[in-house]
Structure 1
Amino acid sequence: MNSNIVKGKREYDDKNFKKAVEYFDRVSSDDGDYLGAALYKINALMELKEYSGCLKFINSLIEESPYDELLWYEKVRCHIFLKQKIQAFDALKEFERLIDGDDKYFTLSIARFYGLLGDSYSALTFCNKAIALDGNYEEAFYEKAQIATRLQDHDLMVECGEKLIEFADGNVVKLMLPFLLNLYADNYQRSYEIVAMMGELDEEHCELLKYSIYQNMLDDWGVEIRTDAPVEWHVDEALRLLFQFGNYGVDKGVYGGVSYMIL
């Protein structure tokens, strides 16, 4: 391999992007590894935020290799960074046309691009296509969850949450997203159940999550719990009363020897 490519990759890995570009600029276009070096150069220019120069370089490469999907991928990225929305959409359409329909990675890339360009419905279409190719494509479900949140589609948020619980396999960090999806979808009972799945989470943080459910329920429903005597109920107990109210309409009673009303 050309020594300039080797040195350029080394500088790139060390995040010396300007120096990396200098080495890649020395690679001749008739070099057998030129396209690989060019892709490194593109990414180095992106890291340097030299988007206009990068786009000019990409366009010159596309003139020579008009059907290279990686170049069109980078072209879309460049237009997005330059806030050239119309050009980004045009490049994205060409990228769509070129990719292999069975490639879940590029299919998901299209979904992400549409999301960045503000077209959430097209983003959802391609996200679902990626999932159809691989029903356990975790990254696609994370992307779908973001789309569902942007669309404020509560049913879709809950659906994504359930799949993400499977992927989490008890991991506290991974369970946070399904917790939040259900919380923002007003699916409070499920949010509470997810907290119980966080076995590794300490008690203090569990209480904070439960209190966030409690406060969201009060704010969402516009209610409060009133008692005929001072009480120091645990948040679990207060939530139990709110769940009974939400599920069965129980708005008053006696709990722990204290009369209460929800109004």
Structure 2
Amino acid sequence: MNLSHEEENNQGLSLSKFESMLKTNKVLFFDSEEFEDIILHYMDTGRLNLAKKALKLALEQHPKSTGLKLVQVELLIFDDKIDLADKLLNELYAIEPTNEEIYIQKANIFSKKDEHEKAIESLKTALQYTDDFADVYSMIGMEYLFMDNLELAKENFIKCLNEDTEDYSSLYNVVYCFDFLDQNAEAVTYLDSFINKNPYSEVAWHQLGRQHYALKNYEKAVWAFDYATLIDETFLGAYLEKAKALEKLRKYQEAIDCYTITMELDDVTSFVLLRVAKCYEKLGNNKEALKYYSKTVHEDPLLDKAWIAITDFYVRQLDFKKALYYVNKAIGIEGDNKLYWKRFASINRALKLYEEAEYGYRRAFELGDTDLDTYIYWADALQYVGDYEIAVEALLQGVENHPDNYEIEYRLAGLYYILNQTKKGKFHLVNALQSNYKNHSILENHFPAIWDKKSIQNQIIKFRN
């Protein structure tokens, strides 16, 4: 409920008067509308005991007030006393069949019972008697949302905005419908028309920017976010979104400037610090990048993404010892992330710590990683530590997800020859040569002792010819 400044003052006086009455136990008189405002205020602020006290006194002073009885219905619905609320509404209907609030509360009851179609019918009846079309259209839109009918929900939220362009809740809901329906281009068309009529709506400009961003029109996204921040210089969300769009345009210094404004407007967040760090790294300013990465983990030590970002920073610097320290930090926070274990394995592989690398690839696989390189590097690590049979098992699991892959086939051939299973070795060598003869050097590089065997060379010569 949006109140004017004068209405807010009057409501404040009524509340003070009512609360003073409760403290002194003196019974004071309020008109029925004052009581309605007092009760609704307490309901809106979650102080239901005070709302019920106010209602009791209100009905004692105004026992025939339809407005107060409708507020009573609202409280009964809130308390899930649906049957009592329905009974009272039927009594009120007999007295005032053209009161739109009766149909609105009926709709609330139907909605509580998940009878959304009946709720919509009741709200459509309310439209015949109401002066507040925007509110009813918004409620109809919500009922269609509950029914997952996004098209009709969108249609009714648009009708609401045609009546009340400042109903930002409905504006967000319209955009939500467009997003859910993957209608970003249509959303842009609608928002353009909305802005033509309401050029100073910072929310509409912000939502237009988001749609352009979704369509990868990053220049237009920045343009729209610019208007949002021009209208409201404290619009934190618009600055954040603008910074993200600038990053997409590789305008990293401008993005940093935007993120800096958000830190001036509100408390510093780990998300913003992390983005600034990444921007500095893109600019080649590793000193500032590391400074902001460190600030990120200081701000939120449990943010695993920040620890991984520092891990990746050191990997790019080829400082694998430091990278290993930070990836362990991330795994300590989220130990079931297959991507973190894969990084752990890759870093240990770079450090030639093959037992640790093997463990990392195995954990990644156990957590659902089925990438080709995981199977290959896992088997390579097992080969380095001499676990040939387990390496074969790892590669055979890889075959299930990557059948006839030459990299797997060459490795299986080499391992079977090492295990003196010549028949199987020859089978996989033929598969590999048929699949990709050019890369038979895989066998030479990974299995030099097998490579020199005369039978192997004869097989390769056979395929070459």
- The TM-score, its normalising length taken from structure 1, stands at 0.72
Per-residue CA distance 1:34-84 (angstroms, 9 max, x = gap): 222222211111111111222222233334446221211111011100000
Question: Take 2:228 and 2:255, find their aligned partners in 1: how far apart are those partners?
Answer: 16
Asked if 2 retains the 8 angstrom alpha-carbon contact of 1:123 and 1:147, the reply is yes
Give the Å deviation of 1:231. Answer: 6.8
Aligned to 1:141: 341
Partner of 1:225: 453
Give, in whole Å, the separation in 2 of the partners of 1:76 and 1:204. Answer: 40
Map 1:1-263; keep pairs closer than 5 Å.
1=168, 2-28=203-229, 31=232, 34-65=235-266, 67-99=268-300, 101-168=301-368, 171=370, 174=371, 176-183=373-380, 186-187=384-385, 189=388, 190-197=390-397, 198-203=399-404, 205=406, 206-211=408-413, 214-219=443-448, 224-226=452-454
Question: CA deviation digits over 1:189-244, x for unaligned, max 9?
Answer: 2433222112254346453443576433433x6972247xx9769xxxxxxxxxxx
Cα distance in 1 for residues equivalent to 2:275 and 2:297: 13
In the superposition, relative to structure 1, how do residues 57 and 180 fare at CA in structure 2: closer, same or farther (>3 Å)? same
Q: Percent identity?
A: 19
Cα distance between partner residues in 1 of 2:234 and 2:258: 17
Equivalent residues of 1:11, 1:17 under 8 A apart? yes
Counterpart residue type for residue 215 of structure 1: E
Structure scoring higher RCO (CA < 8 A, sep ≥ 6) equals: 1
SS at match of 1:15: coil
Q: 1:107 to 1:17 in 2, by over 3 A?
A: same
* Structure with bigger gyration radius: 2
Partner Cα separation in structure 1 for residue 342 and residue 233 of structure 2: 38
How many equivalent residue pairs? 226
Distance 2:317 2:263 in 1: 22
Cα separation, 2, equivalents of 1:30 and 1:148: 52
Displacement of 1:159 in angstroms is 1.4
**Alpha-carbon offset, residue 164 of structure 1:** 2.0
**Aligned partners of 2:273, 2:231: CA distance in 1, in Å?**
21
d(CA) in 2 for partners of 1:218 and 1:194? Answer: 17
Over 3 Å counting, the alpha-carbon distance change for 1:12 and 1:178 in structure 2 is same
Structure 1 unpaired stretches of 5+: 234-263
Please say if residues 218 and 246 of structure 2, whose CA atoms lie closer than 8 Å, have aligned partners that are also in contact: yes
In structure 1, distance between residues paired with 2:372 and 2:405:
17
Q: Deviations over 1:130-154 (max 9, x none)?
A: 2222321222112222322333322
| Secondary structure of residue in 2 paired with 1:67 | coil
SS in structure 2 opposite 1:26?
helix
Larger proportion of strand: 1
* Aligned residue type for 1:225: K
The code of the aligned residue for 1:210 comes to L
Structure 1 contact 107–130 (Cα < 8 Å) conserved: yes
| Most deviating of 115-124 and 127-136 | 115-124
| Between 205-214 and 44-53, the greater mean CA deviation after superposition | 205-214
SS at match of 2:227: coil
Residues 110 and 29 from structure 1, CA distance in 2 versus in 1: closer, same or farther, beyond 3 angstroms? Answer: farther
CA separation of 1:204 and 1:67: change in aligned 2, threshold 3 A: closer
Q: CA RMSD in A?
A: 3.2
Question: Does the Cα contact within 8 Å between 1:160 and 1:178 map onto a contact in 2?
Answer: no
Determine if contact 2:297/2:303 at 8 Å carries over to the other structure. Answer: no
* 8 Å CA contact retained: 1:175, 1:194: no
The Cα of 1:175 is off from its aligned counterpart by: 5.0
Partners of 1:114 and 1:218 lie apart in 2 by 32
The 2-side partners of 1:25 and 1:139 are apart by 37
Counterpart Cα distance in 1 of 2:346 and 2:401: 26
Decide whether aligned partners of structure 1 residues 122 and 204 sit closer, same or farther in structure 2, where only a CA change above 3 A counts: closer
Corresponding residue of 1:247? none
**Corresponding residue SS for 2:229:** coil
Q: Is the 8 A contact 1:115 1:123 kept in 2?
A: yes
Matched to 2:338, the amino acid is: E
TM-score using structure 2 length:
0.43
Residue identity in the other structure for 1:179: I
Which amino acid counterpart does residue 412 of structure 2 have in structure 1?
Answer: K
Give unpaired runs (5+ residues) of structure 2.
Answer: 1-167, 169-202, 416-442, 461-465
| Secondary structure class of the residue paired with 1:95 | helix
